A and B are shown apart, each in its own frame.
Chain A
Amino acid sequence: MKEVNFDQLQEKIYTETLDNGLKVVILPKRGFSKTFVTFTTKYGSIDRTFKPHGKDELITVPDGIAHFLEHKMFEKEDGDVFQKFSLNGASANAYTTFGRTAYLFSATNKLKENTKILLDFVQQPYFTKETVDKEKGIIAQEITMYDDQPDWRLYFGTIENLYENHPVKIDIAGTVESIQDITAEHLYTCYETFYHPSNMLLFIVGAVKPKEMMEFIKDDQAKKTFDKPEAIERQFPNESTEVDVSERTLTMDVSKPKLNIGMKCNKVDLQGQEMLEAELSANLVLDSLFGRTSAFYEKANAEGLVDESFSYEFTMEEGYGFAMVGSDTDEPERLEKLIRHTIKDAKSNWPVLEEDLNRMRRKKIGQFMRSLNSIEFIANQYTRYEFNEMNLFDVVPTLEKLSMDKLKEAFAMFSDDNSYTIFKVMPPKTQ
């Protein structure tokens, strides 16, 4: 077991990669009552074309399968796993993203028993035709629920505009139609390919004794047998740096129009420290162009073009990335013009001063320190960083040394004219 100290943050992590390839990270938090445990596989909705474990031919599986698999992990021959967690006072859950599936619980009691339940249920699949078919009704209702959420449609509609081929454009849960094709055999194939311990990370944070816990996990894993780890071969289609569709509008029963601008990232092969620098820089650029201290925001706010829903974000993963800026607005055309103008203007007339950079740097460092109060943030983010070969605890030192040039480089990643798309959700026209 390796110990790593982060003196500046007053945190210490314990890590070990077990014989079966599973990476375990433990972070004890002073004064905390609960422990939060996540068990995550590097497998999400975008992993739809791959070579199944032990096979040589690529296959493509139905859309929504990673999420479907997540649901079905909870049902076992002897019943529902939630029942066991509840009995031990643990609150359990799971989620699927584009690139990860995480199983988790939080508990203030019986940490070992609950960790054992987590490890066992994720490492012992049980799928039958009957249980798979039964889940289709539940997931169909989940998809329908999201279909009625205008902000989700706005977000996903923008991604669909940005990407022509990349599976990031496919809804994480799939569609009511696509999930009908999912079978128990599919689930086993995906499970065996992506749920090998060497493709997974276990993170334990909060009220935990590191040495004791590590031993407990090692014992448990040593008693289980796994195949030899195999490199996973995924395949992704070619994708141009240009957007697929430059503008689309969806009509929904909303009180006010919604506008979202997407900007496609032209650099999608970064990992590790380079990725960390690019991602932090891009966030600082968006902060300075669109944040509450920006010239853009002052104008948009004064003229009533944005409201409390205004937000912006930057997303970067292996293979895809984008910036988004959006708001509910009565004047989508004017707001769109102002956003476009802000981007264009920044290209010819770089608006970020050294003092702005320093102020935003301080802000981001403070925000990061604050987020370390949340053990959920630590576990989820650490895992995401690790899967991208970054370290969460490098954020502060990296922020401290980010230069203006890095910000300019980051801005160039998403400010091409042909990387820009508009998505609107509009209320029905009144007759």
Chain B
Amino acid sequence: MFNKTKLQNGVHLYIRKTEQFKTVNVTIKWKAPLDQKKASERAVLANVMEDSTKQYPTLGSMRKALDELYGTVLFTDVSKRSSQHMVSLYTECVNDEFFAGEDIFKQLWQLIRSVVFDPNVTNKAFDPDVTEREKRNVRDRIRSIYDDKTRFAQKRMLEIMRPDHPASISAYGTETAVSEITNESLYATYEDMMNNDLIDIYVVGDIDENDIIKQIKQFLPFAARDAVKQNGSPDVKVSDTVNTVREKQDMKQGKLHLGFHTPVFFHHPDYHKMQVTNGVFGGFAHSKLFMNVREKESMAYYANSAFASHYGIVYVTAGIDADLEEKAVKLILEQLTALQKGESTEIELSQTVALLENSILSANDSARSQIEIYDQYKELDENFTAERLIEKWESVTLEDVKEMANTIQLEIVYLLSGKEDVSE
């Protein structure tokens, strides 16, 4: 899969040479412990770094430089995993071979250098106008979750289920934390990120490995840092009673979200068994939820389950007529009970394993997916390959599925639905 090179303590390079793509992808990930306030700082910082640099001091000049380089892609994003917060810089350029006489890739390194090491900073502070604008953008991004009722319902369910916990903290932090950012605090965050974060650099494409190592040493001289292990599973306090919460907004469909706890986390030896169990429960179009809630009862267009392995949470989402809440909850829980009683078939099991295999092998066909999957799984196994995981899935038995299902415990039923008086 990827070849690993240690560049400095806490700074690693992962290269995958392949002729599969017409482009080269370079991704840099900065990783730090997840904290609500810091998350906001880092979200705004990511935006500000994408906007402009010393060399390209306006968004317009920055974007023109990228356009000239045959529409080279460069953007930042933030995300979280377990108790870790990540700032990612994603770049992608077309292979030089398609354009005689161009050296797009070399220029890409210069651009990355400019973004990472030479940001638009004067006297240890970012441009105040850019900072304010990007604070507004991140604030609006947080607010806009309200407009997407499925995302909003999921957010509410997690907040109620795991208050002030990594499971419910947003990778963008909070509106209040965003409003408290100054251009000086933002610069301090930049320095902290550059000096203390764990850094993983990924390169995928038709490249020469030795060249890449040379170029990175030249263009991206990251200093050594303490390589502290950051990413343990967060502690959880599970309530023994089931919480039922109903909230209202002006909307039509009922968004039903059920949250369940499982002691099986990403690092748990039974992790792969739980992935299969979730697949039989509601991960696919052959799964129990789809076949019964949608196809048999015609109650929903979507009815799925998902396994948030980093937080030990299984959740079910369905869009229903809110009047049918009770019936839908009963039907969903019946599917879980069936799993717990061992009422799944060899066919359901092999369908699920076949589709899990398909999805991980398919991920090989996108450079970005390769990077994201490896970045996650290398924490379990530095020599991770899709084949190893597939072997594990194939060894899962119906007895395992039953055993896993019995660890799944309902914690919350959350329904977001319309107010009575809504009319068109």
A: residues with CB less than 8 A from B are 8-10, 29-34, 80, 82-83, 86-92, 106-109, 134-139, 141-142, 144-145, 147-151, 206, 252-256, 291-293, 297-298, 301-302, 304, 307-309, 328, 359-360, 362-367, 369-370, 372-375, 428
Instruction: Give me 6 other A-B pairs in contact (C-beta within 8 A), A88-B354, A309-B144 excluded.
Output: A34-B362, A82-B284, A87-B354, A145-B253, A293-B64, A364-B71
Residue of B nearest to A292 (CB): B63
Q: By the criterion CB–CB under 8 Å, are A307 and B355 in contact?
A: no
B159 at the interface (CB under 8 A from A): no
Task: List residues of B (311-334) whose CB comes within 8 Å of A's CBs.
Answer: 319-321
- Which of B19, B357, B364 meets A89, CB within 8 Å? B357
List, in ascending order, chain B residues with CB within 8 A of A366's CB. Answer: 69-72, 93-94
**A-facing residues in B323-374 (Cβ within 8 Å):** 347, 350-352, 354-355, 357-359, 361-362, 364-367
Residue in chain B with minimal CB distance to A359: B67
User: In the complex, are the beta carbons of B285 and A82 less than 8 A apart?
Assistant: yes
Cβ–Cβ < 8 Å partners of A297 in chain B = 59-60
Closest to B92 in A: A370
Residue in B20, B249, B301, B347 with the greatest tally of chain A CB atoms within 10 Å: B301
**Which of B145-153, B207-215, B218-226 sits within the interface?**
B145-153
Chain A residues whose CB sits within 8 angstroms of the CB of B19 once the complex forms: 30-31
Residues of B contacting A107 in the complex (Cβ-Cβ under 8 angstroms): 358
The CA of A362 and the CA of B22, in the complex, are separated in Å by 15
B250 on the A face (CB < 8 A): yes
Residue of B nearest to A150 (CB): B147
What's the nearest-Cβ distance from chain A to residue B315, in Å?
18
Please give me the residue from chain A that is nearest to B353 by CB atom. Answer: A89
Pick the residue among B21, B250, B253, B354 that contacts A252 (CB under 8 A).
B250
Taking a contact as CB atoms under 8 Å apart, the answer to whether A370 and B68 are in contact is: no
Interface pair A144/B319, CB less than 8 Å apart: yes
Binding site for A on B (CB under 8 A): 18-23, 58-60, 63-64, 66-73, 92-94, 98, 129, 133, 136-137, 140-141, 143-144, 146-149, 249-253, 284-286, 290-291, 294-295, 298-302, 319-321, 347, 350-352, 354-355, 357-359, 361-362, 364-367
| Cβ distance B292 to chain A, nearest Cβ, rounded Å | 12
Contacts of A373 in B (CB 8 A): 21-23, 366-367
A142 to B146, CA, bound (A): 20
Given the complex of chains A and B, what is the CA–CA distance between A87 and B352 in angstroms? 8
A363–B351 Cα distance when bound, in Å, is 43
Measured in the bound complex, the distance between the Cα atoms of B141 and A308 in whole Å is: 8
Please tell me which one of the listed residues A108, A139, A370 contacts residue B73 in the complex, with CB atoms under 8 A apart.
A370
A253 to B146, CA, bound (A): 8
Give the residue of B22, B299, B351, B354 whose beta carbon is less than 8 angstroms from that of A370. Answer: B22
Complex CA distance for A32 and B21, rounded to whole angstroms: 9
With the chains together, A394 CA to B251 CA distance in Å? 45
> In the docked arrangement, what's the CA distance between A109 and B147, Å?
40
A87 & B140 in contact (Cβ 8 Å cutoff): no
Let me know if A31 and B137 touch, CB within 8 A: no
- Contact flag A91-B350 (CB < 8 Å), given A256-B144, A366-B70: no
Q: Are A369 and B358 in contact, with the CB atoms below 8 A?
A: no
Q: Provide the residues of chain A in CB contact with B365, threshold 8 Å.
A: 32-34, 206, 375
Establish whether residues B137 and A369, one from each chain, have CB atoms under 8 Å apart when the complex forms: no
Q: In the assembled complex, which residues on chain A have CB atoms less than 8 Å from the CB atom of B147?
A: 150-151, 254-256
Min CB gap A326→B, angstroms: 14
Which residue of chain B lies nearest to A135 when distances are taken between CB atoms in the complex? B298
A149 to B151, CA, bound (A): 11
Give me the 5 closest cross-chain CB pairs, A-B, nearest first.
A366-B70, A31-B20, A137-B298, A366-B71, A89-B354
Complex: A360 Cα to B22 Cα, angstroms: 20
Whether B70 and A369, one on each chain, are in contact in the complex, defined by CB atoms closer than 8 angstroms, is yes
Q: Select B301's contact among A33, A106, A139, A363, beta carbons within 8 Å.
A: A139
Contact indicator B358/A141 (Cβ below 8 Å): no
Residues of A contacting B92 with CB < 8 Å? 370
Measured CB to CB, the nearest residue on chain A to B143 is: A255
Find the B residue at minimum CB distance from A92.
B285
Given A80-B295, A369-B94: A87 touches B253 (CB 8 Å cut-off): no
Nearest residue (CB) in B for A250 is: B424
Complex A-B: 17 CB contacts under 8 Å: A33-B364, A34-B358, A87-B286, A108-B361, A139-B301, A141-B300, A142-B301, A145-B302, A256-B140, A292-B60, A298-B58, A301-B133, A359-B64, A363-B68, A366-B70, A366-B93, A373-B23
Q: CA of A108 to CA of B71 in the docked complex: distance in angstroms?
A: 31
Establish whether residues A372 and B357, one from each chain, have CB atoms under 8 Å apart when the complex forms.
no
User: Shortest beta-carbon distance, A249 to chain B, in Å?
Assistant: 14
- B249-A89 in contact (CB<8A): no
- Of A10, A31, A135, A365, which is within 8 A of B70 by CB? A365
C-alpha spacing A415/B144, complex, angstroms: 31
Contact A293 B67 (CB under 8 A): yes
Please determine whether B354 and A369 come into contact, CB atoms closer than 8 angstroms: no
Note all chain B residues with C-beta closer than 8 A to A372: 22
A89-B355 contact in complex given A33-B361, A362-B71, A363-B70, C-beta closer than 8 Å: yes
Please judge, given known A-B contacts A138-B298, A304-B133, whether A256 and B143 are in contact too, CB under 8 Å: yes
> A109 is contacted by which of B63, B347, B358 (Cβ under 8 Å)?
B358
